[in-house]
Amino acid sequence: MKPILKLCGVLFVLLFVLTACKLDQISVRWTIDGFVVGPPTVQVDYTVWNDGAYDLTGVNLEFGIYSTALTDWISAWTPDFSLDQHQTKTGTFFFNIGLAAAVTGDPQVLGVDMDNPKD
């Protein structure tokens, strides 16, 4: 009987902790809406959503495309932008891949960075 009571106590505490935590406080999602690869540049059209509970500042996306010649990613970060709660932004970003870069596949988002959110 005691092990069942202990298990119920642990499950109660775990349930309390999980319901008290708000796990979706920072939520950023994105899509790549279109792209054009025309060496020496790649043009990426994108959309970004802030589904979280905070206004975000200093948001950057790292776009990259895989180079078969370098066997590595060629990438660049967007300039900083702000994204308020429930805001959607669209944009176009150009980054340099060089004239001799042999690339394959679609551009991808390789990273996301932002300032620390404030309440």
Question: In the structure encoding, which two tokens stand for residue 113, read together?
Answer: 């960075």
- Whether the CB-CB separation of 24 and 53 falls below 8 Å is answered with yes
Q: Is 79 exposed, middle or buried (0-12, 13-18, 19+ CB in 10 A)?
A: exposed
> What is the value of pTM for the model shown?
0.76
Q: Provide long-range contacts, Cβ within 8 A and 24+ apart, for 3-10.
A: none
For the stretch 22-74, pLDDT in tens is 555 889 999 999 999 988 999 999 999 999 989 999 999 999 999 988 889 99
Verify cis geometry, omega within 30 degrees of 0, for the bond prior to 40.
Answer: yes
Residue 80, pLDDT above cutoff 60: yes
φ, ψ for residue 2 (rounded to 5)?
-65, -40
The strand pairing partners of 109, in sequence order, are: 63
Domains and CATH numbers, the chain: 24-107 (2.60.40)
